[in-house]
Amino acid sequence: MKRLVLILVLFSSIEFGFTSNLNDSIISLAASQYDAGLYNEAIKSYNNILSNGFESVEIYYNLGNAYFKMNNLPSAILHYEKAKKLKPNDADINYNLNVANTQIVDNIEDFPELFFKNWWNSFYNMFSANGWAKLTIGFFILTLIFISIYLLSNVRFIKKIFFIFGGLLLLVTLLSFTLSYQKYYYSVEQKEAIVFEATVTIKSSPNANSVDLFVIHEGTKVFISDELDDWYEIRIANGSIGWLKKKSTQLI
């Protein structure tokens, strides 16, 4: 039995190593294709890596760049948004995404938010879900250390100091955990999409014969609040709400 387990572990390790090396080779190939101006080939190579179940900020970012070079703005914006979900505050990703957004038809102004909401969003977007999770673990370990010193020390002054700082670290840990969970919910549960049809008429209900509300165009980002059959209820950046066909979009 032990021998069988060992064989399975060894086989899994070899398979993982082979897949990793293969992906590395394709990444190198895609980079050389991009540098040579072979953007279609680079796109195929990067999508080949994604089809193997491997994803990263760099792959989505490079795919966005390749699509942008091909003037495929919806696909460029889609992949910049995917990269941004993994690394929210990356300057290059945000810059290229903003440039791409200036070249689409719709120039939708964001719904105005209070200053403290903007401040909170900036703080919240400092790290990805994994980044906040790692910070939570780090703060939790420090909290345990401070609590241990508090319990083991016989010196009143030291106990008081470590009790205060231990309590503060516990609060920071809870805050970090909350942000990690919220970020995870945003990245996994909350659906966003990019419009891929040249022109889409937003309806008042999930029915082709319902009232026309407004029109949006390819490359526009929408927030999905509900779905019914082959329809999404969506909200755009200025707060307007309506329904569109699922086939008009691709999920971020």
Q: Tell me if 109 is assigned to some domain.
A: no
pTM recorded for the entire structure: 0.69
Q: What is the pLDDT of residues 212-228, one digit of tens each?
A: 999 999 999 999 999 99
Domain around 222:
191-251
**What CA–CA distance (Å, rounded) separates 156 from 188?**
47
* Integer Rg of the chain from CA: 24
In this structure, the answer to whether residues 57 and 135 fall within a common structural domain is no
pLDDT(7) > 70? no
Q: Which of 231, 130, 237 is nearest to 186 (CA)?
A: 130
Residues 83 and 123 in one domain: no
CATH, residue 224 = 2.30.30.40
Overall number of domains in the chain = 3
- 141 domain-assigned: yes
Residue 94 covered by a domain: yes
Q: What is the pLDDT of residues 90-105, one digit of tens each?
A: 999 999 999 999 999 9
In a domain, 12, yes or no: yes
Which helix (H) or strand (E) segment holds residue 93: the answer is: helix 91-102
Q: Are residues 11 and 91 in the same domain?
A: yes
